[in-house]
Amino acid sequence: MNEHVKSAALAERKVSAKMSDCVEIEFRAVTKLYGALAAVKDLSLSVRRGEFLTILGPSGSGKTTALMLLAGFVAPTSGDIVISGRSVASVPSYRRDQGIVFQSYALFPHLSVRRNLEFPLEMRGVKAANRANQVGRMLDRVHLADYADRMPSQLSGGQQQRVALARALIADPPFLLLDEPLGALDRKLREQMQIEIKSMHREFGKTTICVTHDQEEALSLSDRIVVMRAGRIEQTDTPEALYDRPATRFVATFLGEANLFEHSEFELRTDLDQPPNTVAIIRPERVRIAAPTAPTCPDQHLRQAVSGTVEDMIYAGPLRRYQVRVGRSTVVVREHVASGQKIFYPGEAVRLDWLRSDLRIVAE
Amino acid sequence: MLQKLTRAPFGLTLPSFTLLLMVFGVPITSLLFMSLNAPDWSFVNYQRFLSQSANIYVLLQTIEISIGATAICLVIGYPTAYLIVTAPERQRTVFIVLVLIPWLTSGLVRTYAWTVILGDHGLINNVLVASGLASSPVPLIYNRFAVFVGMVHIMLPMMILPLLSVMYNIDKSLVAAARSMGARPFTAFWRVFLPLSLPGVRSGSLLVFVGCLGFYITPQALGGLRETMLSKLIVNQLLVSANLGATAATAFVLLAVTAVVLSIFGLDLSGSRERVRGAVGTKRRSWLSAQGAMGRWFNELGTSWRASRWQRQLYRAAAQVRWVEFAGAGFMTVVMVYLLVPGLIVIIMSFSAGDFIEFPPSAFSLRWYVAFFEDSTWTTSLSNSVEVAIDVALLATATGTLAAYGLGRMSPQSRSILTMMILMPITFPVVIVGVAAYYGLFHLHLIGTKTGLVLAHSIGANAYVVVIVAATLANFDRRLEQAAMSMRAGPLRTFWRVTLPLIRPGILGGAVFAFIASFDEAVVTSMISGYSIRTLPLRMLENVTQQIDPSIAAVGSLLTLLPVLWLFVLYVLYWRSRGKPQRAHAQAEA
């Protein structure tokens, strides 16, 4: 979609990030133990000013602990956290300047929308007149001006989410933490909110750290993604790079779908030098499906072909998903639906091919 | 026809309401008429009551003592509940059990324990005199102080438990959110936690206040002659005078006080917390907003100071505040000692080898237990109590379970009205329930019979069963029944095979509560036993003030240990059956 825009913006940021003073938040070898259990192990990470960074991982990967550490709700067992050049490891949450959107929003149920938004301003000693001003402006910005005197329970999920976002932004903190910001919304609203968050980020330019287990959320929102697993960082990169060049099998399968070819699974003349303890992967949308008799393309010498039998075909709107039996393994193929396309039904013999350059070798 | 009736939700509540109407509803209505001098209709009974300054004095004193006890309970109970909720999981469970134990222990025994502790030759005075701190016994008993000590001791769990249930459900991330926005710990508590815990404060205070209004044994045993409560007056009138109209008028004055308090603060026992809160909220918005405006004005005064502090303290590290933890631990220790030590003293004393009550005992023996079991008047009363309690448990569990099941399938409106009616026997001051039951059973010629006792106890026990089973049903997934029915199980078979096994812990829990409620009952019992049936608490009541026969300590010890045993049974029923999957779930989450 807007991948070009994204990567352009990213390139711009990368240039500016060369200057070290642009590092806003830094984890320095942070470890957090709960009893003997390490929720976060030796975590080192720096977040640049204005960046949208997502910490992505399954439950138990330590991503929530990382957020709690950053928010000041728990103190690290060892290591240090530095925000704008100041060590904050033992600074309690209420003495940090931050905005947090909580997982279930944590809107105060006994306060109206207006009073909810006023709260962080009040705590910072903003005078009543100024508060009213700022709240009014922020409510206009999130299109909730008519709802100022409603209670949170009288709002829809999407409206609550916008109030939570507004409340986190209103005191103009230097950075924003989002904890599974879209987890509670249904699919349609999620897409709307993704756009909303994105545009808020563009408009306010806040350094944003988002914690989620939802890869789609991570891919669409972030400048950079940190994939965590069992308290450690698995890989850090831009969404495109992560998707395109995953470093490990875990990243490859956690982020999107991947066909994994074990070393000896079937005759795979990869040309690539595949060291032991690695797997070759290819994304389903990089695999082309054709009838065995179809004429080959001119670039066929760059391609690798195998033949198989269609096991299953699922039609999913813009996509068609095939499951093709090749030897002893199953290859998933995702094809964009286009007019005049040949559709293959279960039982049909097909030829699959892909560019050799699309194969990736990743660590097991 | 019958099948249709039992299938309908209203039909299921029928047994409960038959019981309720027979023992409570009809008699209290006719008492109301009688107090109004029907069929002549006049206020003569009320005029007579109000014209006596002694009555007014007792009425005001009753309200005064009840308010005082409620306030003390709140001041002690709120921090206790807060500390319990914020304690680590394992400690929390221990504390809840420690609060539940005295709650399940007979109030009579606890009152007795205080007479032993506070008496002129009691524990404290013995220590004071022996150590030379006081030359003669300090008057600790037979005054207002002792009344408060005893009443608060009995009512404190009633304050803590509703507070706990509300506080437990406050989303912890709200306080975290407040802190992340710059609220200091106390501010986060004051602005977020406290307002959200107010429903618990309200229900706890109401329960305690109404409970206090109905008290008469504790003030009688611990207070002087001046500390008479209205309920004492009612019991005296009932047992001494033949004028039921006058007694009824006194009872309705007490009920009116209760009704006024309940209507001001709103009764909320039906479990429909959200809706009631919403209704109350709209009614009193103006009052609240006036109060809020004032609070905001004060708040505004500190603005510039807060602004400068925010600048000054931003990113400043904070030292761990240790003394807060120590203060909390100290407070909890004092509260737990207060709650538990009286019971422990009774238990220890009961093993005394001496001829008189003494603490600590110079030697230990089982002689008073032997004396207890050899004295046929004690053993008869014990078997009376057990017999009645078992019958009550059986009857109330049957009617209460059916009613709870029926209530669960009604529209919310009829459910809340009917639930309120079913809960009347435990929301009204107990002495009023006693008067009504007395009158109802008198007409059924059941005064002084076991059947009468069982019926009178069952109306309250029924209410407990409804509350507990309804709570269990609320967690029961109705779709499981639909699933069973989709597999061709009829309604009866569905109930038997799916619903019943899943709500069994609630039913058994209800049965246990019904048993305890009946076994410990002294007030209603004293009014309707007609001196012919002696239950254990009744026998004990006769001896409480005497303090001479140490076998009373043995009885007290039995009455104290029995609920602990029951608590263990409950623990096995509830936590074993539910805790495990939940714990596994929690681990998966973490």
Q: Which chain B residues are Cβ-neighbours of A128 within 8 angstroms?
A: 296, 300, 303
pLDDT at B314: 81
Same domain flag for A41 and A182: yes
Q: Which range has the worst mean pLDDT, A242-256, A289-303, B384-398?
A: A289-303
Nearest chain A residue (CA) to B277: A110
**pLDDT (tens digit per residue) in A196-206:** 888 888 888 88
- Out of 3.90.950.20, 1.20.1250.20, 3.40.50.300, 1.10.3720.10, select the CATH number for domain B43-274+325-337: 1.10.3720.10
| Interval A139-149 mean pLDDT | 92
Separation between Cα atoms, residue A284 and residue A316, nearest integer Å = 14
Predicted confidence (pLDDT) at residue B587 exceeds the cutoff of 50: no
Contacts of A104 in chain B (CB under 8 A): 171, 173
Please report the pLDDT score of residue B235 as a whole number.
87
Strand partners of residue A30: A43
DSSP letter, residue B224? -
Backbone phi and psi for residue B124, each to the nearest 5 degrees, phi listed first = -65, -45
Tell me which of B547 and A108 has the higher pLDDT: A108
Domain containing A272 equals 257-363
Nearest to B315 among A73, A86, A103 (CB): A86
Same domain as A64, residue A111: yes
pLDDT per residue as tens digits for the range B155-165: 999 999 999 99
Closest CA to B433 of B147, B270, B238: B238
Q: Where are the alpha helices (DSSP H) in B284-411?
A: 285-301, 303-313, 322-349, 367-374, 376-407
b/e burial code for range B526-539 (CB count within 10 A of at least 16 → b)? bbbbbeebbbbbbb
Q: Is A85 exposed, middle or buried (0-12, 13-18, 19+ CB in 10 A)?
A: exposed
Contact A97 B316 (CB under 8 A): no
Chain B residue whose CA is closest to A84: B315
Question: Chain B residue with minimal CA distance to A34?
Answer: B590
Q: Under an 8 A CB cutoff, do B177 and A102 touch?
A: yes
Query: Which of A204, A221, A248 is the last residue in one of the domains?
Result: A248
Confidence tier at B267 by pLDDT (50, 70, 90): low
Question: In Å, how far is B299's CA from the nearest CA of chain A?
Answer: 9
- Strands of B184-246, DSSP E: none
Domain count, chain A: 2
Q: Nearest chain B Cα to A121, which residue?
A: B181
Residues A339 and A214 in one domain: no
Confidence of residue B269 (pLDDT cuts 50, 70, 90): very low
Residues B270, A101: Cα–Cα separation, whole Å: 35
Q: Where in chain B is the domain with CATH 1.10.3720.10?
A: 1-41+375-549, 43-274+325-337
Best B179, B180, B187 member to test A by mutation, with max A CBs in 10 Å, is B180
What SS3 class is residue A108? Answer: coil
CB contact under 8 A, A92 and B313: no
Q: Which residues of B touch A92 (CB under 8 A)?
A: 179, 318
Q: Quick one: A313 and A178 in the same domain?
A: no
B319 to chain A, minimum CA–CA distance in Å?
8
- What does the pLDDT look like over A253-268, one tens digit per residue? 898 888 887 655 555 5
| Closest Cα in chain A, distance from residue B103 (Å) | 32
CA–CA min distance A139, chain B (Å): 18
Query: What mean pLDDT do residues A5-19 have?
Result: 46
Q: Identify which of B177, B185, B317 has the shortest CB distance to residue A100.
A: B177
Instruction: List the one residue out of B40, B102, B545 whose CA is nearest residue B336.
Output: B102
The answer to whether the CB of B361 falls within 8 A of the CB of B351 is yes
The CATH number assigned to the domain holding A263 equals 2.40.50.100
Same domain, A35 and A181: yes
- Judged by DSSP in three states, B588 sits in helix
Nearest CB to B196; choose among A60, A109, A119: A109
> Which residues of A are less than 8 Å from B178 in CB distance?
108, 119, 123
CB contact under 8 A, A106 and B174: yes
Element holding B262 (H helix, E strand) = helix B244-265
Average pLDDT over residues B469-478: 85
Q: Are B468 and B510 in contact (CB under 8 A)?
A: yes
Contacts of B409 (CB under 8 A, 6+ apart): B9, B12
Mention every residue, 6+ apart, whose C-beta is less than 8 A from residue B241: B247
* Same domain? A208 vs A293: no
SS (H, E, C) A146-170: HHCCCCHHHCCHHHHHHHHHHHHHC
* Facing residue for B182 by CB, picked from A60, A83, A123: A123
Contact B306 A120 (CB under 8 A): no
Q: Choose the final residue of a domain: A195, A219, A248.
A: A248
User: Please, are residues A137 and A129 in contact by the beta-carbon 8 Å criterion?
Assistant: no
Q: Nearest residue on chain B to A170, judged by CA atoms?
A: B181
Return the higher-pLDDT residue of B465 and A190: B465
Q: Do residue B178 and residue A73 have CB atoms under 8 angstroms apart?
A: no
Q: Residue-wise over B262-280: b if at least 16 C-beta within 10 A, else e?
A: beeebbbbbbbbeebeeeb
Residue B551 has pLDDT above 90, yes or no: no
Q: With beta carbons less than 8 A apart as the criterion, state whether B506 and B468 touch.
A: yes
Residues from chain B that touch A86, judged by Cβ atoms under 8 A, are 315
Nearest to B559 by CA among B246, B101, B151, B160: B101
Contact A100 B180 (CB under 8 A): yes
Phi, psi of B129 (to 5 degrees): -70, -45
Same domain, A345 and A242: no
Mean pLDDT of A209-230: 91
Alpha-carbon dihedral angle through residues B459, B460, B462, B463, given to the nearest 10 degrees: 120
Single-letter amino acid code for the residue at B149: V
C-alpha to C-alpha distance for B563 and B570, rounded to whole angstroms = 10
Mean pLDDT, rounded, for A323-333: 88
DSSP characters over B386-441: HHHHHHHHHHHHHHHHHHHHHHTTS-HHHHHHHHHHHHHHHHS-HHHHHHHHHHHH
What contacts B127, CB < 8 A, 6 or more positions away?
B133
Taking the C-alpha atoms of residue A163 and residue A170, their distance in angstroms, rounded to an integer, is: 10
Query: Does pLDDT of B10 surpass 80?
Result: yes
Lowest mean pLDDT among A27-31, B6-10, B522-526: B6-10
Of A126, A136, A167, A168, which is closest to residue A147 (Cα–Cα)?
Answer: A136
Token couple for B354: 């001496």
Cβ pairs bridging A and B (under 8 Å): 111
In chain B, the residue whose alpha carbon lies closest to the alpha carbon of A37 is B590
Instruction: Give the range among A60-74, B167-181, B277-291 with minimum mean pLDDT.
Output: B277-291
Residue range B382-391: mean pLDDT, rounded? 92
Contact residues, chain A, for B180 at CB < 8 Å: 71-73, 93-94, 96, 98-100
Percent of chain B with pLDDT over 70: 89
d(CA B172, nearest CA chain A) in Å: 9
Interface-testing mutation among A34, A122, A167, A179, with chain B (most B C-beta atoms within 10 A): A122
Task: Look at residue B459 and tell me whether its pLDDT is greater than 90.
Answer: yes
Q: How confident is the model over B290-306, as a mean pLDDT?
A: 75
Q: Select from A200, A223, A248 the last residue of a domain.
A: A248
Distance of CA A56 to the CA centre of its chain: 6
Chain A contact residues (CB < 8 Å to B): 59-60, 71-73, 83, 86, 88-100, 102-104, 106, 108-110, 119-120, 122-128, 167, 171
* Cβ <8 Å between B182 and A124: yes
In this complex, the residue of A91, A93, A124 whose CB is nearest that of residue B307 is A124
Whether residues A71 and B196 touch (CB distance < 8 A) is answered with: no
Residue A267 has φ and ψ, to the nearest 5°, of -60, 105
Do A169 and A102 belong together in one domain?
Answer: yes
CB neighbour class for A164 (10 Å; exposed up to 12, middle 13-18, buried from 19): buried
Asked if A96 lies within 8 A of B318 by C-beta distance, the reply is: no
Distance from CA of B412 to the nearest CA of A (A): 20
- What local confidence, expressed as pLDDT, does residue A242 receive? 92
Distance of CA A49 to the CA centre of its chain: 18
CB contact under 8 A, B182 and A127: no
CATH of residue A99: 3.40.50.300
Cβ–Cβ gap A123/B310 under 8 Å: yes
Residue A225 shares a structural domain with residue A268: no
Residues A64, A67: Cα–Cα separation, whole Å: 5
B406-441 residue pLDDT tens: 998 888 888 888 998 999 998 888 899 999 999 999
Which chain A residues contact residue B196 at CB under 8 A? 109-110
Length of chain A: 364
Of A59, A93, A100, A178, which to mutate for an interface test with B (greatest number of B Cβ within 10 Å)?
Answer: A93
Read off the DSSP letter of residue A358: G
Same structural domain, A325 and A211: no
Give me the residues paired with residue A351 across strands. A290, A307
Quick one: B229 exposed, middle or buried, by C-beta within 10 A (0-12, 13-18, 19+)? Answer: buried
Instruction: Compute the distance between CA of residue B301 and CA of residue B29 in angstroms, rounded to an integer.
Output: 56
* The CATH number of domain B1-41+375-549 is 1.20.210.10: no
Task: Give the separation between CA B202 and CA B236, rounded to whole angstroms.
Answer: 32
Closest CA to B200 of B78, B67, B89, B101: B78
The tokens of A223 are what? 């400048």
The verdict on A92 and A222 lying in the same domain is yes
**Residue from the list A73, A125, A127 with its beta carbon closest to the beta carbon of B176:** A73
Q: Which residues of B touch A (CB under 8 A)?
A: 171, 173-174, 176-185, 187-188, 191-192, 195-196, 296, 299-300, 302-310, 313-318, 588-590
Same domain, A241 and A299: no
Q: Do A95 and B318 touch (CB under 8 A)?
A: yes
Residues A24 and A207: beta-carbon distance below 8 Å? yes
CA distance B470 to chain A (A): 25
Asked if A94 and B185 come within 8 Å (Cβ–Cβ), the reply is yes
pLDDT of residue B129: 86
